[in-house]
Amino acid sequence: MTTIADTAGTLDTAGTLDRALALITAGYVFPERTAAIETAIRGHLAAGTYEGLAAPELCAAVTAHLQEACPDKHLRLLYEQEPQPMEEEPEELAEARFESMCVEANFGVQRVERLDGNLGYLDLRLIADPATAAGTFAAAMQLLARTEALILDLRKNIGGLPSGVALWCSYFFPDGETHLNDVYDRKTESTRQYWTSTHLPAPRYLDRPVYVLTSDSTFSGGEELAYNLQATKRATLVGETTRGGAHPTARISVTPHVTVTVPTARSINPVTGTNWEGVGVIPEISVPAGTALETAVEHALRRITAG
């Protein structure tokens, strides 16, 4: 039986890849693609591509080859400097860790401001769980309620929960009747629908322009928020094409220092019938991320002036 090394300095490459491939085959949301993934990685292993690589370099190389075989940016092998427990992390612990991160980040709300010309500006860095973050979401939207146009800055948004995306979207629609997104889960073979909320603790932002700023760092849940608002024609996107990660993902230890991330679900937008995986969310107004705010302000002011 293959023994997988448990130190940072040594690694049983073949054993590590055996386990990583087994986890991908068992859990990947597109099971029909796993044979090609396994063929590609085992081909590199047989050719000696990974020979002599230390764990960090091995993870980087395997990640590149995984994404060549299957262009899914959530499909990765990651090196962990600190040893990780080999037991599968209880869902409650993972949720608690994410919640702690959200609290430290003010539930993603980095900055709320009224710009010249009565433009609202919201810098949102992650998408928190509305069960605990709804009050912060509402406080931000209350401060922005009387502006004439809103700029939602997702250029540094790293993602989060679909339920949080749905609540943020709800502020830009008049009721609870807008179907935003579906998420199909392979393990349960079920699909969960996400709709706008009927009741909100702050005023809705209706009948006014919304601009969403994006960058090539905008990822996952941040991309979903941008994509939902674009697909429903509720916002104009300004900036760069996003990273292209649309699949909710499990993070599983392969060794104490190597983790595999396996997409186990996928988003299905009810308007487009697809998602942004591998291609990103493409803005209507394509400009460098560094000038996106200035560009959005110019467009918003012209639109307000034109009536």
The pLDDT of residue 10 is above 70: no
Give the distance, in angstroms, between the CA of residue 86 and the centroid of all CA atoms in the same chain.
25
1 pLDDT band, cuts 50/70/90, is very low
Edge-to-edge order in the sheet of strand 258-263 = 76-79, 258-263, 249-255
The CB density around residue 290, as the number of other CB atoms within 10 Å, is 11
Residues ≥6 apart with Cβ < 8 Å to 207: none
260 strand-pairing partners: 77, 252
Backbone angles phi, psi at 178, to 5 degrees: -100, 120
- Write the single-letter amino acid at 168: W
- Write the single-letter amino acid at 67: Q
Task: Report the mean per-residue pLDDT for the chain.
Answer: 93
Tell me the pLDDT tens digit for each residue of 241-292: 999 989 888 889 999 999 999 999 999 999 999 999 989 999 999 999 999 9
Token pair, residue 247, equals 């699949």
8 pLDDT band, cuts 50/70/90, is very low
Tell me the pLDDT tens digit for each residue of 182-231: 999 999 999 999 999 999 999 999 999 999 999 999 999 999 999 999 99
The pLDDT of residue 116 is above 70: yes
Q: Where are the domains of the chain?
A: 13-76, 105-245+280-306
Tell me the pLDDT tens digit for each residue of 37-57: 999 999 999 999 999 999 999
Lowest average pLDDT, out of 15-24, 73-82, 161-170, 205-214, goes to 73-82
Exposed e or buried b for every residue in 217-253, given b needs 16+ CB within 10 A?
A: ebbbbbbbbbbbbbbbebbbbbbbbbbbbbbbbbebb
151, 211 in Cβ contact below 8 A? Answer: yes
pLDDT of residue 209: 98
Length of the chain: 307
Q: Which CATH class is domain 105-245+280-306?
A: alpha beta
Task: Quote the Cα angle for 81-106-260, to 5°.
Answer: 30
pLDDT of residue 38: 97
End-to-end CA distance of the chain: 72
pTM for the structure as a whole: 0.84
6 pLDDT band, cuts 50/70/90, is very low
3-state helix, strand, coil in the chain (%, to 5): 40, 20, 40
- The torsion defined by the Cα of 268, 272, 278 and 282, in degrees rounded to 10, comes to -130
241, 214 in Cβ contact below 8 A? Answer: yes
Rounded average pLDDT over 56-83: 94
pLDDT of residue 89: 65
pLDDT of residue 91: 74
Exposed e or buried b for every residue in 41-66, given b needs 16+ CB within 10 A?
A: beebbeeeebeeeebbebbebbbebb
pLDDT of residue 86: 81
The pLDDT of residue 7 is above 70: no
